[in-house]
Amino acid sequence: MLVIFVGSISIVAFAFMPIFLRDAFDSLRGWIDPYDDSVILFSIIKYLLIFGGLALFNAAFDLFCTLAILKYQNKIMIDKIVEVKKKLDVVPASFLERFTTGDLSRRISAMTGEMINNLLNTVYTIARVTIFFITTSIMMFMINWILALVVIMSLPLCVIAARIISKRTQKYFNNFAKSVIETSSHIDQKFNLQEFYTLHGISDDGEKFKEINKDHTRAMIGEHTAMSFNTVYIAFIQNFMMLAVTFLFAIMFVNGSITEFGILPAFIMFSNRFLANAVVVTTATNLLQAITSRAPRVFEILDCPDNVTEKEHIDIQKVNSTIAFKNVSLVHKNGTKHLDNVSFEIMQGQSVAFVGGAGSGKTYLVDLLAKLAIPSKGNITVDGLSLEEITSKSYYKCVGISLERPFIFRGTVAENLLYGIRRELPENVMAVTEKLGSHEFIDALDHGYETQLSGSSTVMGTGKKQAICIARLVLQNTDVAIFHSALSAADAVTEKSVYEKIMKHKKSQTTIFVTHRLPSVEKCDIIFYMERGKIVERGTHKELLAKKKKYYDAYMGD
C-alpha cells in the first residue's frame, strides 16, 4: 500500500508535465509578436525547468517504488520458501512419492520466486496504471475533450484484444512450466545415477535427453513467442492512435477549433504515455499467465494437509514416557509386507538401536516412528496416546531425525548448524561440535564456521556433511532423536565414537539408532535385531552375544 501511494504521487506529478510543455511551446509564439525577447526566453526556460523538475521527481519516485518492491519481494520469497520446506517436513511420504527430487527443487527454488515476483509486480502495475489513467484522462479533458476521447478509446481496444489472445496462448505458458519440471527431473536423475552407470559400465540413454531437451526448447520458444505476440497488437494500436491524434489535431487547428499550437506536443506526450501505459494490459496478461501456470504447482505442496490422517486432533508439548508398537504391520499397496507384527516399548531416556541386514525393515520402522507412514495393522502409541491422533506439527517439535542423505542448504556452517533453533550462544554450539568431534574439521575450513555451504558444495565430503546434520540435531535438543544411518559415509570407528558421545550427552533424551554396523551401538540400553520385517532378537549387547544366535553371527561377521 505504501508503494502504491508513493507511486501515485509520481503519477500526479507526471499529469502536470505536458501542461508546462504546452505553455513552453505557446511561449515560442511570443517571438512572432512584438514582446521583449528576454521576457519570452525567461518564460520558456521557466516552463521547461518546471517540466524537467517534475520529470526528475517522477523518476525518483519510480526508483523508490522499484527498490521497495524488490526488498519486500525478497522477504516474502524467503518466508514462502521456508513455509514450503516446513510443509515438506511434515507431509506424509505417500505425498512426496508423487515428485522427483528435480521436480520438488524446481518448484521450491524457481517457481515460488517467479510466482511471488509476478504477483507483486502485477498488483503494483495495475494499481499504479489505474491511477495514471484517471489522472491523465482528467488533464486531457481539461485541454481538449475530443482528442481525449480518441486517446481513451485505445484502452478498451487493448483490453478486448488481450482477452481474446490470452485465451489462445495460455497453453504455451502451461507447456513451458511442465517441460521445465520434466527436464529438471531428468537431469537430477541422471546425475544421481551417474556413479551407478560408471560402476557397471552402463551408457545412459542420451537419445531420451535429446528428445526431452528438444521438447523443452520448443516449449520455451512457444512461451516467449506468446509473450512477444502480446505486445504486437499494443504497438499497432499505439501507432494507429498516435496517427489519429495528429491527423485530428491538424484538422481542428486548420478550421480554428484549436488555436493553441502547444496543445499538439502536450497531447502527443499525453497520448504517447497513455498508450505506452496501455501496455500494462499486455504486461498484466503475461504476468497473470505465468502465475496461472506456476501457482498450482507451488500450492499443490502448500495446500497438502499437515495431518497424515484425519484422526489427528491432539497436540502434545513433550514426550514424557513411552513409545510403544503393538502388533504393527506395514504392507505396501502391491501386497509386499515390509513389517510383520512388530511389538516393542522404548522408555523415555533410553538409547535404543535397530540393526539388521538390508531389507530387514529398519527404514520402514523409522518411517513409522517419524510419522511419515501409517501402519496397515496394529497401533503405535506415545505416552499412551495413539500416534495417529497426535498432530504432526506438535509431534515434530518433540522428535528430530538425522538421515543418511545430509540436508545442507545454501548458507554458512553456523547457519546450517542452527537451522530450526531460534537462538543459541556460539559457545554452546562449539561445545557440542567439540564434544562430537566435528569442531576440528570445521575450524580447519578457510572461514571456519562462516564458510559458505550448499547441497552440492565440495568444501566438505558427505561424511562431514552428515556430522553437521548430527550436531544440528543434538543442538535442537528434542525429546526423541532418531539417527538413521546418519554417519554411514564415515568410517566405523568415527561412527562408534560419535554415537557413544550422543548417548552420554543428555540422559533424559530418547535416542534411536538405525545402522548396519553393530559395534557402533553395542553400548545401547536395548538392541533390536531385525530380519524380514520382524524383530527376531532383543536385549543388551551382552545378552544377545550370550545367546549366540543371529545377532552373535552378524556381530562376529563384522
Task: Quick: pLDDT tens for 52-70.
Answer: 676 676 667 777 777 777 7
Residue with cell 531428468: 186
Triad 504, 506, 509: Cα angle to 5°: 115
Neighbours of 291 (CB within 10 A): 19
Q: Which contiguous run of DSSP H or E holds residue 400?
A: strand 399-402
List, in order, residues 6 or more apart from 426 with CB less than 8 Å away.
414, 449
- The pLDDT assigned to 67 comes to 77
Q: How far is CA 224 from CA 173, 210, 282, 473, in A?
A: 9, 21, 13, 46
Q: At what angle do helices 263-277 and 206-254 cross, to 10 degrees?
A: 160
* H or E element at residue 94: helix 93-96
Q: What integer pLDDT is reported at residue 104 of this predicted model?
A: 64
The pLDDT score that the predictor gives to residue 153 is: 78
Residues 6+ apart with CB under 8 A from 521: 353, 355, 499, 513, 515, 527, 541
Q: What is the pLDDT of residue 528?
A: 94
Residue 422, pLDDT score: 60
Q: So what's the pLDDT on residue 105?
A: 62
Residue pair 432/471 in contact by the 8 Å Cβ criterion? yes
Query: Tens digit of pLDDT per residue, the chain (558 long)?
Result: 777 676 666 666 666 666 666 666 666 555 545 555 555 566 667 666 766 676 676 667 777 777 777 777 777 777 777 777 777 766 665 566 566 555 666 666 666 766 776 777 777 777 777 777 777 777 778 778 888 888 777 777 777 777 777 777 778 877 887 787 677 666 666 665 555 455 445 455 567 778 888 888 888 888 778 777 666 776 777 777 777 777 888 888 888 887 776 677 777 777 667 766 666 666 666 666 667 766 776 777 677 665 555 678 888 999 988 999 999 999 887 788 899 999 999 999 999 999 998 888 998 998 899 887 888 899 999 999 999 888 888 888 899 888 888 888 778 888 888 876 766 667 788 888 888 888 888 888 888 888 888 766 667 788 888 898 899 888 888 899 999 988 888 888 889 999 999 998 877 889 999 998 899 999 999 999 999 999 999 999 999 999 999 999 888 876
pLDDT of residue 200: 46
**What's at 109, amino acid-wise?**
S
Q: How many CB atoms lie within 10 A of CB 99?
A: 18
The predicted structure's pLDDT at residue 196: 47
Please name which of 488, 450, 434, 21 lies closest in space to residue 268, comparing C-alpha atoms: 21
Residue 79 confidence (pLDDT)? 75
Q: Which of 125, 124, 226 lies closest to 177, judged by CA? A: 226
The rounded Cα 218 to chain-centroid distance in angstroms is 26
DSSP letter for each residue of 143-210? H-HHHHHHHHTHHHHHHHHHHHHHHHHHHHHHHHHHHHHHHHHHHHHHHHHHHHHHHHTPPP-HHHHH
**pLDDT at site 537:** 93
Sort strands 411-412 and 452-453 into parallel, antiparallel or unpaired.
Answer: antiparallel
